[in-house]
Chains A and B, each alone.
Chain A
Amino acid sequence: MGSTDYPLDRQDAHQDVHQAIRPYVHSDKLSFSDALYVIVTTVDHKKLGLMYIVASLIFLVIAGLMASVMRLQLAFPNGHVVSPATFNRLFTMHGTTMVFLVGMPLLAGFANYLIPLMIGARDMAFPRLNAFGFWIFLFGGFLLYFSYVGGGGLQGAGSAPDVGWFAYSPLTERAFSRGLSTDYWTLGVLCSGIGSLASALNVIATVASMRCPGMTLSRMPMFVWLMLVDSWLILIALPPLSAAQIMLMLDRYLGAHFFDTQNGGSAILWQHFFWIFGHPEVYILIFPAFGILSEVIPIFSRKPIFGRPAMVAAAVAIGFISLSVWAHHMFAVGLDSASNIFFAAATMMVGVPTGIKIFNWLATMYGGKLIFRTPMLFCIAFLFQFLIAGLTGIMLGVTPFDWQLHDSYFVVAHFHFTLVGGFVFAIFAGMYYWFPKASGRMLSETLGKWHFWLMTVGFNLTFIPLHFVGMMGMPRRIYTYPYGRGWELWNFVASVGVVLQLAAVAIFVWNILQSLGRSDSERSGDDPWNAWTLEWATHSPPPEYNFEKIPVVYSSRPLWDLKHPEDPDWEFE
C-alpha cells in the first residue's frame, strides 16, 4: 500500500525536519521579544487559530464580568450598584462584545485551527489574509473598548456606547446620542466585521481548493461542512450590517438622513437592515456549535454520525431559511398581518431542519457505547438546553405570543439558552476535545467535571427563572425595577446562578493553566480519544507543516479505515 500511506506512518527523514523547525514551533522556548515577533508576523493557521481563541476568551471574561455586574444590580429591586447610564453601557458592551468579539472570533479560531488539519491541508488558502483578518478584528475590539477613554471626548472618560448592541435608530442619531461613543461602536464593529468576512472568504477558498486527495465533499468532516455553510452565511449576511453602519456614519458625520426621522428618514429601515444580518448571525454563531457536536458525539458514542447527508442538507436548509426570518424581531413594529404571518411561518419552518439535527444526534447515541468524558457531558447538556432554546424559539415565532414576549426577559432567557446553553457549551466541549491536539497535554478530568456541573447548574439557575419574570411583565434592558411586581425572587435566583458560572469559568481557566504549566501533567499522545478524523493522524501539537506527507482518504472516517482494515468505511460508500 505504498502509494496510499496515511500520515500515521512516520518516516525517519521527517524527524530531522521536525527537529529543525522545533524552536519556532514551541514559542515558550523563545525570549519574550522573539515570541512577540512570532505572534505579530505569523501566518500559520494554527497559531492564528489559537490567537483568535485566546483573544476571544479574554473578551469572554471581560463581557462575563460585565454581565455579573448587571446581575448584581438586578439581584434586588431598586438596586443602585451602578448608575443608569453605566448600566446601559454595560449591556451594550456586553452584547456587542459577546457577539462580535467572542462569538465571531471563536468560530474563526476553531475554523482556522481545525479545517486545514481536518481536510489534510498544510495551511489555509490565504495565510496572509488570515493574519490580516485577525489583526483587524483585534483592532476593532480595541477601538470599541477605547470608547471608555475617548467616547465623550477628552472630558468624557467612561463614555462607552449606550445604544444597545442592536443600536436602533434614531437613538443612534446625533440628536439623541451625542459624543463619540456611538461612532466607536460603529467603527469597532465595522472593523471586526471586515475580519470576519476575510476569514469566511478564506474558509470557503480553503475548503474548495485545499482538500487532500480523496477528500470529496461527501467525505468532509461535519465540522468542515458546517463551517462552509457558516462562511457562506457570513459572506451574505454580514454586508447588510456593514452597509447600514456606513449609512449611520454618513448620517452622523455628513448630515445624511438615512435614519433621521426628523427629515423624513425611516426608523425601521435600520431594523430591517440590522436583522437581515442579525438573525442569520444567530445561526452563524450556532453552526460551529453544531459542527463541534457532530464531531464529538460520534467519537464518544463510538458510532458514525447518523444520517450524514440529512445533517448536511439540514444545515444548508437552515442557512437558506434563516435569511428570510429577520422580521420576527420586528413583530412589534406594526407590520401588516400578511407580513407577520409570513415571517411567523418562516420562523417556525427553521425549527424543522433544526429538529432533524437534534434527532440525528440522538440517533447517533442510540445503540452506541456512550463514554461520559467532559466533552461528551457538555454535548449532552447542549442537547437538553438547545432543545429548550429551540422550543422557546417556536413560541417567539408565534406572532401574537411574541407580542407579549418580545423585549421581555423571556427573550433574554431564550437567546442565552441558544448562545450560552448552546454555543458556549459546545465551545467548552470543543476545548476539552481538541485541547490535547493543540497542546499535547490532557486537561484534568476531575476539574473538567467540576467545571461541567457548576456551569450546568449555574447556567440553568440563572436563565430558567428569567423565562418566568419575562412572562410576568419584566421588560429587557431596565437598569432597575420597583419592589412589588413579583419579580424579586426569580431575579435573586438568577443572580445566584451567576456565582456558580463564574466559579465554573475560573476552574476552566485554572484547568488550562495547570495543564500547560505543570511539567507532570498528563500527556495526550497523538490520538487520545481513539478518533476518526484526519487531525488525529498527525502529532500533538501538530508540526508547522501539519502532515509529513499529504494524506489520501477513502471515506469520511479515514482513521476508522486505518484502525479497522477488516471493516473499512469506504466499503459502504
Chain B
Amino acid sequence: MIGPVFCLMLQTRLAEHSVANIFDPRATPAATEKNLALFTFSITGGIFIVVAALLIFAIVRYRSRIPNDLEEPAQVYGSGKIELAWTVIPILIVFVLTGVTGRVIASIEDSPQPSSATHITLVGRQWWWEVHYPDFGIVTANEIHVPVSRSAQDHPTFFTLQSADVIHSFWVPQLSGKTDLIPNRDNHIWIDPREPGIYLGNCAEYCGTQHANMMLRVIVHPAGEFEKWAVAERTSFVPAAQSNPGRAVFESLACVNCHTVRGSVAAGRFGPDLTHLMRRQTIGAGVVPLTPKNLRDWVADPQEVKPGCLMPSMNLSNTELTQVVSYLEALK
C-alpha cells in the first residue's frame, strides 16, 4: 500500500505552476524558443520604435496649419536611393532572422535521443489524453508523469504523438511549444523538465465541442521518484467483489464497455483507464478537481459537468450511484 500513499503525498508536495507563461520556461525546447522569441522581439521592437517615431514626427511636423490652405506643397514623386535603402535593409534583417531561426528549428526538431530517455505514446481523443508508457506497460490518462532531467541528454522524455479521432495539439507552454496529434500519422516531440512540479497545458487545436476542457498536466517527479511511481502504477489494487459491492454493479453496467480496470473484467478502450483513478487530480481532462462530490456528480450525469462529452449519463439509481462511486474511490 506504500505506492498509492506515496503518490498522493508526492502530488500535494509538488508546486503547481498555474500561470503557464511562455516566458517562464522549465525545459530546453521552451527555453530555446523563449531566447529566440526575445531576439525576435528586440528586432521587431526596434523596427516598431523607428517607424512609429517617424510616423508621429510626420503627423506633428507636416500637419496643415492653415485652414483651407489652397497652396499645394512641393510635389515629390519618389526617390530611388531612399527606396533602395528601405528595400535592402529589411532583406538583410530577414537573412539574419532566417539563419537564427533555421538553427533553432534544427536544434529542437533534430535533437538526438539518448538511451536514458523515457518513452511515452500520447494519444489524443475527443476530449481527453491517453498516455501510454510502452517500456513500463502502463496506460493512464490526462496526467503525464515524467522524470526531472538535468540536461537534454540526461533523462529527457520523448513523445510519440498520435490521435484516435480528430486532430489535437500538445501544448505545455513552460515545457515545449505545440505539436499536433494527427490521426494516421506519428509526430515526435521531447522535453527535459529541469524542475519538479506540475505544469499545465491544453489541447491547442480545435477538436470539437469540448475542446476547451481538454486540458493536461505534466507532473515532473524529482530524481529517482519517477521509477517508484512507475512501479506503483504497474501494479493494480482492485478491491475484491466481496469487500466492495460497487465492483459488481460497475461490472454489470455498460461502464466496462469503455473503461479498463486492470485486474478485473473491465477492459474497454474508448474511455480513460480507471485502474488508478484516485491518483489523478482532476476528472474529465481537467474540467473539475477530483473530489468525492465531483466524482459523484460526474458519474451521475457527465453531460451536466462537461456538456457534449462522449460519456453518456447512465441513469443510475441512488444506491447504484453510491456503490459505483465507492468502488471508484477504492481504485487507488
Which residues in A have some Cβ–Cβ distance to B below 8 Å? 83-85, 88, 162, 164, 168, 170-171, 175-176, 261-262, 264-268, 301-304, 306-310, 332-334, 336-337, 340-341, 344-345, 348-349, 351-352, 355-356, 358-360, 362-363, 365-372, 380, 383-384, 387-388, 391-392, 394-395, 398-408, 471-473, 475-482, 484-486, 564, 567, 569, 572
Contact = CB atoms under 8 A, between A and B. Distances in A.
Q: Which 4 pairs between the two chains have the least Cβ-Cβ distance?
A: A403-B177, A478-B212, A473-B20, A307-B78
A364 to B, nearest CB: 9
Interface stretch (B97-105, B137-145, B259-267): B97-105
28 contacts: A83-B307, A84-B212, A85-B307, A168-B166, A168-B205, A262-B183, A264-B184, A267-B182, A268-B185, A302-B64, A332-B180, A336-B109, A341-B105, A352-B90, A359-B86, A368-B62, A394-B97, A395-B44, A398-B101, A400-B104, A403-B177, A404-B33, A406-B178, A472-B19, A473-B19, A476-B204, A478-B212, A479-B212
Interface in B208-251: 208-213
Interface of B: 18-23, 29-30, 32-33, 36-37, 40-41, 43-44, 47-48, 51-52, 54-55, 58-59, 62-64, 69, 72-79, 82-83, 86-87, 90-91, 94, 97-98, 101-102, 104-106, 108-110, 126, 161, 165-167, 169, 171, 173, 176-180, 182-185, 187-188, 200-213, 286, 307-308
A567 B74 CA distance: 11
Nearest to A480: B212
Contacts of B188: 334
Given A359-B83, A471-B23, A567-B75, 19 more contacts: A88-B211, A261-B184, A268-B182, A307-B83, A309-B78, A332-B169, A332-B178, A332-B204, A337-B110, A344-B101, A358-B51, A369-B73, A399-B101, A399-B104, A403-B177, A404-B178, A485-B19, A485-B200, A486-B18
Given A334-B188, A363-B82, A403-B33, A475 B62 contact: no
A367 B19 contact: no
B14 to A, nearest CB: 16
B28 to A, nearest CB: 12
A360 B78 CA distance: 9
Given A266-B184, A307-B83, A404-B173, A170 B178 contact: no
A403 B44 contact: no
Nearest to B25: A404
A348 B94 contact: yes
Contacts of B308: 84-85
B166 A362 contact: no
Contact of A404 (B30, B101, B209): B30
A368 B36 contact: no
B57 to A, nearest CB: 9
B105 A308 contact: no
B199 to A, nearest CB: 10
Contacts of B205: 168, 332, 407
A403 B78 CA distance: 40
Nearest to B169: A332
Nearest to A557: B75
A475 B171 contact: yes
B297 to A, nearest CB: 15
Contacts of A383: 55
Nearest to A363: B82
Given A359-B86, A362-B58, A485 B47 contact: no
A479 B98 CA distance: 36
A362 B53 CA distance: 11
Contacts of B178: 332, 403-404, 406-407
B191 to A, nearest CB: 12
Nearest to A263: B184
A152 to B, nearest CB: 14
A306 B83 CA distance: 9
A171 B52 CA distance: 43
Contacts of A473: 19-22, 171, 173, 200-202
A355 B44 CA distance: 12
A400 B33 CA distance: 5
Nearest to B74: A367
Contacts of A310: 78, 83, 87
A363 B201 CA distance: 46
A301 B54 CA distance: 15
Given A340-B105, A400-B101, A387 B208 contact: no
Contacts of B183: 170, 261-262, 267
A387 B58 CA distance: 15
Contacts of B40: 394-395, 398, 401
Please classify the interface of chain B as helix (H, G, I), strand (E, B), loop, or mixed, using the class held by over half of its residues: mixed
Contact of A400 (B36, B86, B187, B203): B36
Contacts of A268: 182, 185
A176 B208 contact: yes
A360 B87 CA distance: 11
A362 B55 contact: yes
A525 to B, nearest CB: 15
Contact of B187 (A84, A308, A334): A334
B19 A486 contact: yes
B75 to A, nearest CB: 6
A261 B180 CA distance: 15
Nearest to B69: A369
B73 A303 contact: yes
Contact of B202 (A262, A336, A475): A475
Contacts of A387: 48, 51-52, 55
Contact of A395 (B37, B64, B180): B37
Contact of B58 (A265, A336, A365, A569): A365
B37 A306 contact: no
Contacts of A334: 161, 179-180, 182, 185, 187-188
Nearest to A333: B180
Contact of B105 (A170, A302, A337, A481): A337
Contacts of A485: 18-20, 200
Contacts of A348: 94, 97-98
A392 B98 CA distance: 16
A368 B82 CA distance: 17
Contacts of A336: 109
B182 A302 contact: no
Contacts of A340: 105, 109
B173 A355 contact: no
Nearest to B32: A400
A335 to B, nearest CB: 9
Q: Which of A352, A358, A371, A402 is packed against the most chain B CB atoms within 10 Å?
A: A352
A266 B188 CA distance: 18
A332 B59 contact: no
B63 A372 contact: yes
A306 B76 contact: yes
A307 B79 contact: yes
A355 B86 contact: yes
Contacts of B104: 399-400
A88 B166 contact: no
B187 A341 contact: no
Contacts of B52: 384, 387
B36 A171 contact: no
Nearest to B89: A355
Contact of B59 (A345, A370, A403): A370
Nearest to A337: B109
A88 B44 CA distance: 34
A344 B173 CA distance: 21
A392 B48 CA distance: 10
Nearest to A487: B19
Q: Which of A266, A384, A407 is packed against the most chain B CB atoms within 10 Å?
A: A407
Given A266-B184, A403-B177, A367 B169 contact: no
Contacts of A351: 90, 94
Contacts of A384: 52, 55
A372 B65 CA distance: 11
Nearest to B96: A348
Contacts of B203: 475
